[in-house]
Amino acid sequence: MQFFSKLFELKKEIDQFYKAELDRFEITDTQFFLLNYIDSVELASPTKLSGIFNISTPAISRLSRELENKRLVERFRATGTQADYRLVFIRLTPAGRDKLATVNQALEELINTTEEDAMVHKLDASRALINTIQLG
């Protein structure tokens, strides 16, 4: 039970770490992960996204409508001789690609800054330990 408690605490810390940055770009963490996944695949259907993210197809439809209203994604139907015109797919718009690149860059900078801060903190702790040893 303690393992799950620790895992849940870690998840909360990660969520808080990203939330402020994602809020700045007016997207939720679920929208962010959805945009990243859609960008990484050739065809993204609501049914496939539902299975990948383990949320209902209506919830995926709602999320994709929100992203469509922000002009970050668009829905389309496959074309061609063998296409099933009943199937709807979702892809990023150029604005969606630009926003995703900007958010990913900001998160990478945040992570790098956090890692640098952690290294500085470790260095300061090491210096303090060395000073204590030298004085003692």
Write out pLDDT tens, residues 48-72: 999 998 999 999 999 999 999 999 9
pLDDT higher for 66 or 79? Answer: 66
> What percentage of the chain reaches a pLDDT higher than 70?
75
Q: List the domain range (segments joined by +) for residue 110.
A: 2-135
pLDDT category at 117 given cuts 50, 70, 90 is: low
Tokens (6 digits) for 134? 């030298």
Could you tell me the CA-to-CA distances from 19 to 92, 111, 114 in Å, in that order? 22, 13, 15
Provide the residue type at 7 as one letter.
Answer: L
User: Lowest-pLDDT range, 40-54, 66-80, 107-121?
Assistant: 107-121
| CA distance linking residue 108 with residue 88, whole number of Å | 33
Which residue spans within 72-132 are E strands per DSSP?
Answer: 73-77, 88-92
With tokens 């808080």, the residue in question is 16
With a threshold of 0.75, does the pTM exceed it?
no
Strand blocks (E) in the chain: 73-77, 88-92
Q: In terms of pLDDT, which residue wins out, 94 or 88?
A: 94
Mark 42-71 as b/e (b = at least 16 C-beta within 10 Å): eebbbebbbeeeeeeeeebbebbebbeeee
The CATH number of the domain holding residue 13 is 1.10.10.10
Report the domain count for the chain. Answer: 1
Angle at 115 between CA 114 and CA 121, to 5 degrees: 90
Model pLDDT, residue 119: 57
Residue with token string 């260095």: 123
What distance in Å separates the CA atoms of residue 66 and residue 64, rounded to the nearest whole number?
5
